[in-house]
Amino acid sequence: MDAVLRKKILKVLTLALPAMIESLLQTVVGFVDTLFVARLGLVEVTAVGVANTLLAVYIAVFMAIGIGTSSIIAKHIGAGDADRAREAARQSTWITLVAGLLFGAITLCFAEPLLRMMGASGEVLSQGVLYFRIVGTPAFVISLMINFGNILRASGNTVSPMMISFWMNLIHIVLDYVLIYGIIQFTGFGVGGAASATVLTRIIGSFMLHAAIRHSPVRFSIRRQTNNRDTRLTWEIIRLSIPATGERLIMRLGQVVYLGLIVHMGTEIYAANAIAENIEIFAYLPGLGLNVAATVLVGNALGAKRYQEAYSYGLLAAVISTVIMSITGVLLFFMTPLFAVWFTDQVSTADMITLAMRIDAFFMPSLAIGLVLAGALQGAGDTKTPMYSTAIGMWGIRVVFIYLLGVRGAMGIAGIWIAQGIDLTVKATFLYLCYRRLFRNLLKKRFNP
């Protein structure tokens, strides 16, 4: 291995590893949060679950805005234009703030009808409305926290968000326990306490992230520093964010539809699939971290007009992700029987979980390539191609094949995960071909203006 390649690998991993750890911390705290609420009872955990399904849509939109922001900031930093990167950070903050306030108003006014639409009723509805209003009304806190994290990562700083996530998780766990169950003479607030702990932690996290930005190359003032507002930059952020938002919403809607199909296969299959998806989350973590690295490095190199370097960084991140996630797939194949018994004592359900994970193990390379090349394309400013790949994969393949194999073919959980694997393989192939074509066209324009 030559010195140049070693240097590139180190650069990719330096960005990716903190992002992986941050994702792991978020996953772990989600499990702990669910565990605390579950101890209150089935009504409470169901209410929080339904409310979080709607909040996931909010978060998906805020993250989509961040994709457009990340691409622009990375390109301007690569081009050595720190002022434009700061202006992009400032404008994205205003855009996410407005979006957060809008979603907050929707939550305050329509929390109950939205949860009724999700099928909640009785005590589940009552507890769900309480949780949803407390967490969702200050949605601007969620939007700012996500935006500040994206700004730091786009500037090449993935360590600060990781460390802040670590402290947020500790704070969240302590507040969760105290506000849900109480301490000494304080009896706790139950579901309301869980919601309050989440909001307080996000407020603290937002301040910590903003403080980190103030000591970074992309530090900015929320107020305009000049009278010449660059509306082109505003529209560029919006232009890149709209397809990314569309992708997230297409994915969420598709999940609602195919989960509805799985419900019709039976309670045991549905439960086994849900547990398998929770286990699979850990397999995603390397790909998510390398997705961030690909976005930043491709954007930086393109901003500096180093097209060949940008192309190679995207492919290198995909190769590293494939190697790591293939190893993860091998571990899943052999270790899932041990993991499954943590979640259920039903032998037949554990066997289904094991079968699902062993099928999934064969498709880990496709999952790795798809995750990373989507980030590389977004770093290059192409947010439409990932949206098309999600639309084709989710609606043209996954939903259709779950119905054909799982429902009509009576293959049960095997049909579900084979359908997912076909989707991942087609998506990875499509993204790779589009990635090659994008850079082939960029190089043609460079040498044949």
- Residues 351, 349: Cα–Cα separation, whole Å: 5
Return phi, psi of residue 409, to 5°.
Answer: -80, -5
SS3 381: coil
SS3 380: coil
Higher pLDDT, 34 or 169: 169
Q: Where is mean pLDDT largest: 19-28, 52-61, 433-442?
A: 433-442
pLDDT, mean of residues 61-88: 86
pLDDT, mean of residues 375-380: 91
Instruction: Please answer whether residues 8 and 312 qualify as being in contact, where contact means their C-beta atoms are separated by less than 8 angstroms.
Output: yes
pLDDT, mean of residues 50-70: 83
- Residues 63, 41: Cα–Cα separation, whole Å: 32
- Residues 118, 130: Cα–Cα separation, whole Å: 15
Specify the pLDDT at position 269.
Answer: 81
Q: Chain-wide mean pLDDT for the chain?
A: 86
- Residues 92, 107: Cα–Cα separation, whole Å: 22
Q: Summarize pLDDT for 315-361 with one digit per residue, the tens.
A: 999 999 999 999 998 988 888 888 777 777 778 888 888 898 999 99
Q: State the pTM of this model.
A: 0.84
Residue 392 structure tokens: 């084709």
Residue 405 structure tokens: 């194999």
Residue 387 structure tokens: 């949206």
- Residues 29, 281: Cα–Cα separation, whole Å: 13
Mention every residue, 6+ apart, whose C-beta is less than 8 A from residue 197: 172, 175, 176, 178, 179, 180
Return phi, psi of residue 33, to 5°.
Answer: -60, -45
- Residues 213, 209: Cα–Cα separation, whole Å: 6
Q: Summarize pLDDT for 290-300 with one digit per residue, the tens.
A: 999 999 999 99
Residue from 20, 7, 106, 3 nearest 372 by CA: 20
HSE-CB of 175 using CA atoms within 13 angstroms: 20
Specify the pLDDT at position 225.
Answer: 54
| 131-148 as b/e: b if 16+ CB within 10 A | bbbbbbbbbbbbbbbbbb
Q: Summarize pLDDT for 226-273 with one digit per residue, the tens.
A: 545 567 888 888 888 888 888 888 887 887 788 778 877 777 787 788
pLDDT, mean of residues 196-215: 93
Percent share of the chain, pLDDT over 90:
35
Q: Summarize pLDDT for 90-115 with one digit per residue, the tens.
A: 989 999 999 999 999 999 999 999 88
